[in-house]
Copies of this chain bind each other. A is one copy, B any other.
Amino acid sequence: MNSPEIQLLIQHLSKLPGLGPRSGRRVALHLLKRREKIFRPLIQVMLDAEQKVKTCHICHALDASDPCTLCVDPKRDPHQICVVEDVADLWALERANTYRGGYHVLGGVLSAIDGIGPQQLNIQSLLDRIAESQITEVILALNATVDGQTTIHYLIEQLRPFNLSVTTLAHGVPIGGELDYLDEGTLFTAFQARRST
């Protein structure tokens, strides 16, 4: 019953992650009822991002400049590379504000089921970067999933010839986590890796 413009808007919004038909309708109506204050500014911001944001050819992160701000920042340690699965993980680590080296976004993890092999990931460019510069440590900050761990093992093999320090993130009880709610695997790992105080 709606005009095609409204229907298309709802359709496209409903397909965004986290939204469905009901929330898509809600967002569409929210925008259509607030043209000046919300709809037009959002469109402008989207046009801007779509046109200006690109993928950094060195670390494969997203930024308005290529090479990205992180890659050219002189205050960041050029001897460390932190390998992450996705740009979202890079953002999460940056929010934690604890790491001051470089990054490398793989663009996924190895997955036999999804047919993702080493060629589909930014692995060759990682090895090239390491071969060309004075990297001393590679931190494999991949998700603690089965595919993430498989990818870590594959990368460790690939990195062996370079004779550098390869590290992974510590596993254990998350800060603020309650033991009662944690899975056995996490508790087992946290127990095995217990430290004297």
Contacts and interface: CB of A to CB of B under 8 A. Distances in A.
Nearest to A2: B91
Given A9-B45, A12-B41, A46-B43, A29 B64 contact: no
Given A17-B27, A46-B46, A50-B35, A69 B3 contact: yes
Copies in the complex: 2
Interface stretch (A18-26, A119-127, A137-145): A18-26
A155 interface: no
Contacts of A88: 25-26, 29
A188 B124 CA distance: 69
- Chain A, interface size category, equals 35 or more
A119 to B, nearest CB: 19
A3 B65 contact: yes
